[in-house]
Amino acid sequence: MSAEEIAAKLWGLCNLLRDDGVTYHQYLNELTYILFLKLSEVKDFEKELPEEYRWQKLKGIKDNKDLFDTYRELLATISTKSDNANIKEIFTNASSTLRKPVNLRSLVSSIDLIDWYDEHDRDVMGDIYEDLLERNAGEKKSGAGQYFTPRPLINVMVDLVVPKLGERWNDPACGTFGFPISINQYLINRHDYIYKDEKTRVFQQTTALSGVELVQDAHRLALMNAKLHGLDSTIYLNDTLSDFGKSLKGFDGVLANPPFGTKQGGERPSRDDFTYPTSNKQLNFLQHIYRSLHKKGGARAAVVLPDNVLFEDGDGAKIRRDLMDKCRLHTILRLPTGIFYAQGVKTNVLFFERGVTETGNTDKVWYYDMRTNTPNYGKRTPFTLAAFDGFIKAYTGGLTTENVGLEYDGKVDDQKRAAITDERWQCITREQIAKKNDSLDLGLIADSSLSNGDDLDDPIDIAKEAVFELKSIMGELDAIIKELR
């Protein structure tokens, strides 16, 4: 049975639990607890669990009520009975949403019967879990889409920043840890000896990759996702925009998709080291990211940000100016709408490299427009790696989607880029950007629908975007009023 088929089977079990009042998001949490117990047997680390909570003991309980009572006791006490840090974190504040003992029996029996290896004897548990995370993100009612970046986009961003062995990478708003897991797989694909050399393996599994997540449920899923992919990475349950974030620095690279919106109540971040503190969370995350890169040369980042970061006045313009001074902002990808849970919000990927000096690092920015005159991605038109064909060719100066992950060396070659003929691909100088008050809201081609008198945008999407921008403005006004008082 393939990983996708197993994931579909596990997801289908949720339908059996609907009369138990279990939502998809609650079900995924429940699966996480039970899968971890099974994982401890499959991966041979169950000695780190209290003996009475090990998989064979649990599934061997014959009476459904006894099984149910033992399971609830396990959730309440396992984090205090185990010395394993991952176990403590995954099961912190754990509780069951199941109400009927027979439903727990169904989950335990179904998971126990699954063969966790494919026909090539490859461990597919990590693939299955990521599939479940993606299904959960697709359920709009669960609200989990805000913690999940589409895998095609993650993989493209990883391919283009070219992580290297021995580097330290961080995601300061890591959701379910998708970026670091993709980095790990990228390195395995390029260096098949990664787990044969013990020193390399230990560094990769424990130190190379790290993340921060503010929401406990998402943090739990991130820990589980990392564990299923063979990683014992440090994933902090904390707020990057608090004083804690000041300790996150000296990284070789950052990949991130920070949460959208303003800080609650229009408040500014609690940390005191930002040059331009603002209530706009994405602008604060952007400041954090380029400040967290080392200045030895070669440190780089790719970050997903909404359009308002590109054009917001005031502190927004100052932060963009600071970014272009301290970093070589070399590429902006204008993403299509409809690929995130908040479909009315238009997004971009900014690619930049930290300079060794504090000024004058950006002289030009290359733009690629994947948004205008493109399909509306959704169930009818899936968002796949193929959508990036033109962008990858332009960014790399000629490579294809199929070979970029194994062949691209990470160099931004302006001569090769200039040789690419594509109406979506254009270069805008720093002088031209300065004339626009340092607005980066540029690089979009002409919308063909407007010449026909049609409006390509959905009115609902327009309304959502207007609300988003209004909230951002209101947050800034609130902060200004508080300061005046």
Q: Is 203 exposed, middle or buried (0-12, 13-18, 19+ CB in 10 A)?
A: middle
Q: What are the structure tokens assigned to 50, written together?
A: 């209290």
The CATH number corresponding to 3-134 among 1.20.1260.30, 1.10.240.10, 2.60.40.10, 3.20.20.80 equals 1.20.1260.30
| CA distance linking residue 351 with residue 164, whole number of Å | 17
Is residue 115 packed enough to be buried (19+ CB in 10 Å), middle (13-18) or exposed (0-12)?
Answer: exposed
Question: Across the strands, what pairs with 329?
Answer: 352
From the list 291, 277, 288, 285, the residue with the least C-alpha distance to 305 is: 285
d(Cα 260, Cα 243) in Å, to the nearest integer? 20
Helices 151-161 and 389-396, packing angle to 10 deg: 10
Q: Strands of 327-334's sheet, edge to edge?
A: 234-237, 209-213, 169-171, 253-256, 300-306, 347-354, 327-334, 364-369, 425-429
Cβ neighbours for 77, distance < 8 A, ≥ 6 positions apart: none
Cβ–Cβ under 8 Å, residues 61 and 67: yes
CB atoms under 10 Å from CB of 410, counted, come to: 14
One fold for 3-134 and 143-463: no
Give 311-377 as a DSSP string. Answer: H--THHHHHHHHHHHHEEEEEEEEPPTTSSSSTTS-EEEEEEEE-SSSS---SEEEEEESSTT----
Q: Which of 257, 469, 440, 289 lies closest to 366, judged by CA?
A: 440
Q: What tokens appear for 25 in the block?
A: 């998001």
Burial annotation 430-461 (CB, 10 A radius, 16+ → b, else e): beebeeeebbbbbbebeeeeeeeeeebeeeeb
Task: Give me the helix-helix angle, 3-16 and 101-113, nearest 10°.
Answer: 170
- Rounded to the nearest 10 degrees, the angle between the axes of helix 3-16 and helix 125-138 is 50
CATH class of 143-463: alpha beta
Sorted by where each begins, the domain ranges of the chain are 3-134, 143-463
> Residue 416 has what pLDDT?
96
Structure tokens at 330: 């070399």
Q: Which helix (H) or strand (E) segment is 213 a member of? A: strand 209-213
**Secondary structure (3-state) at 59:** helix
pLDDT in the model for residue 136 = 79
User: Would you state the pLDDT for residue 393?
Assistant: 97
Which helix (H) or strand (E) segment holds residue 306: the answer is: strand 300-306
8 A C-beta contact, residue 61 and residue 135: no
What's the average pLDDT block by block, 10 residues per block, for the chain (485 residues)?
78 72 79 87 84 92 95 93 84 88 90 72 74 76 60 96 96 95 93 78 94 92 89 94 96 94 58 90 96 98 96 95 98 89 79 97 98 84 91 97 93 96 97 96 86 48 54 50 48
Q: Compute and round to an integer the Cα radius of gyration of the chain.
A: 24
